[in-house]
Structure 1
Amino acid sequence: MSFASISSPAEQQHAPHTHRHRLLEGMAQAVAAKGYAATTIADIVREAAVSRRTFYEYFNTKGDCLIALYTAASHNALDVLRNAIDPSRDWHEQVESAMTAYFDCLAQNPVLMRTLFIEILGLGPGGLAARRQVNEEIAAFMLKVINEHASAPRRRTPLSADMAMAVVGGINELILQAIEQDRLGDLRMLTAPAIELVYAVTRE
């Protein structure tokens, strides 16, 4: 599964050729080829093989389309984390598997990932709200795994929502730093510090 993917396999099975899905795919392809700044609505509709009128049935601006792409791609990355968790396996193996799969997923399309992580910050309240929503969903997933899975270490007190968000924020900052330093080719190197961070919050 790639960070460039727009919908989960189940969603693709039910609606593989919807116009909205095609527009998001078109945006992803255009951004990967040209970058966000150079991408135009004409590029998006050409890649999606739909009309400009169809674009405006779903989105008001190019930025709105990018926000939708960010949300869809982030949900796919979250699905990667969910699918890597297997309560029957050792806790440490699960964490290592999940973090490795997550960073591998992000690294599959460096140009798109750079666009989604950086440009979303400049899209105003809508972009920031989408980013916050995604981060909250990842933090909620982390809380569920750490506090409820039988294989997770037992804490005297449950992990708090604030601490889960702090972990998500820390991992995001590592990714942003890698983007700024043009180290996306070495993104998997972030797996080790991310794992160490998760281990740190599961200990008391």
Structure 2
Amino acid sequence: MTELAGVSSRLPRGRHGLPREQVIASQRERILRAMADAMAERGYVNTPIAVVLKRAGVSRETFYEQFRSKEHCFEAAFERAVHGVMGRIAAASDETTPAPGTPENTDRLDRLLGAYLEALAAEPAYARLFLVEVYAAGAKAVAKRAVLQESFVAVIADVLGATTESQRFACQTLAAGVSAMVTAKIAAADPDGLRALRGPLLELVLRSGDLYGDAVRAN
């Protein structure tokens, strides 16, 4: 997922003449990637800063020039993961031409589900960071995860045309159920199973009538 990859390659050895801003950006992206990859293997608790430094190929001084602590680095990596996922969802939402013979709302929901699941499957380390390891990173990180969950609820409610309190509550339960299922697939390192959720989830919503929103009934 290029949104998450960023400027992750190592800089040329020796004198390279690159602007300082580019050097800092490269170092930062390498550190964030190293944090995600290390935690995917070891878990948040068992990932010391020394492991991140070795993976990123940077010094401790360089690390602390950009991050106050391991927790601060995790927060930045979390934001990077969210940016990548939300970027894919926004791109899918901007597509306006439905597939031939497919109602607009159904097509939009299918594209959004596909974008979300593909974003997670394409970057399992970052996906694990904000779906699994976030719960080991403390209350502040979990609170950010809750805010992200509500943003997904808002997207679902908009697509499905939720206008009542009961419909929005149904959208909240749908988002929570999807979150639990994708988290299990990520924890089990099962990207194919993750992608396979797309069809059944879409079918579930389409069979629900106006449970989640009036847009489904209109289809």
Q: Which TM-score band applies after superposition, normalised by the shorter structure? A: 0.7 to 0.9
Instruction: Determine if the alignment matches structure 1 residue 186 to structure 2 residue 193.
Output: yes
Per the TM alignment, residue 95 of structure 1 is displaced from its structure 2 partner at its CA by 1.7
**Structure 1 stretch displaced more, 186-195 or 36-45:** 36-45
Aligned to 1:98: 112
Distance apart, 1:159 and its partner CA: 8.1
Conservation of the 8 A alpha-carbon contact between 1:31 and 1:115: yes
Name the residue aligned to 2:77: 69
Asked if the contact 1:143–1:164 (Cα under 8 Å) also holds between the matched residues in 2, the reply is yes
Percentage of pairs with the same residue: 27
Q: Which aligned pairs between 1:34-53 and structure 2 lie closer than 5 A?
A: 36-53=44-61
Q: What residue in structure 2 maps to residue 84 of structure 1? A: 92
Mapped partners of 1:75, 1:159: distance in 2: 30
Whole-Å Cα distance in 1 between the matches of residues 59 and 83 of structure 2? 27
How many angstroms does 1:37 deviate by?
A: 4.8
Contact preservation (8 Å) 1:104, 1:188: yes
Paired AA for residue 132 in structure 1: A
Q: Which whole-Å CA distance do the structure 2 matches of 1:26 and 1:109 have between them?
A: 13
- C-alpha distance in 1 between matches for 2:181 and 2:80: 22
1:156: Cα distance to partner?
6.7
* TM-align CA RMSD: 3.2
Offset at 1:133?
1.9
Q: TM-score, normalised by structure 1?
A: 0.73
Aligned to 2:176: 169
Report 1 or 2 for greater relative contact order, CA contacts < 8 Å, sequence distance ≥ 6.
1
In 2 relative to 1, CA 192–48 (structure 1 residues): closer, same or farther, beyond 3 Å?
A: same
Structure 2 distance, partners of 1:96, 1:47, is 37
Query: Does structure 2 conserve the Cα–Cα contact (< 8 Å) formed by 1:4 and 1:28?
Result: no
The question of 1:195 aligning with 2:209 is answered no
- Which of 120, 137, 146 aligns to 1:132? It is 146
CA contact (8 A) 1:2 1:106 kept: no
Do the aligned partners of 1:6 and 1:69 also contact (CA within 8 Å) in 2?
A: no
Quote how far apart the aligned CAs of 1:160 are.
Answer: 5.6
Q: If the length of structure 2 is used for normalisation, what is the TM-score?
A: 0.68
How many angstroms does 1:121 deviate by?
0.9
Deviation at 1:173, TM superposition (A): 0.8
Q: Structure 2 counterpart of 1:128, which letter?
A: V
Distance 1:178 1:33 in 2: 16
For 2:28 and 2:84, the matched residues in 1 are separated by: 16
| Native 8 Å contact 1:80 1:105 kept in 2 | yes
Higher Rg of the two aligned structures? 2
Residue deviations 1:6-59 (CA, integer Å, cap 9, x gap): 69xxxxxxx765254442133234345655454331232334343313323443
- Gaps spanning 5+ residues in structure 2: where? 8-20, 99-103
* Structure 1 segment 2-21 matched on structure 2, within 5 A: 4-5=4-5, 17-18=24-25, 19-21=27-29
Q: Check the 8 A contact 1:6/1:72 in 2, yes or no.
A: no
Aligned length: 190
Could you tell me whether the CA contact under 8 Å between 2:32 and 2:73 is conserved in 1? yes
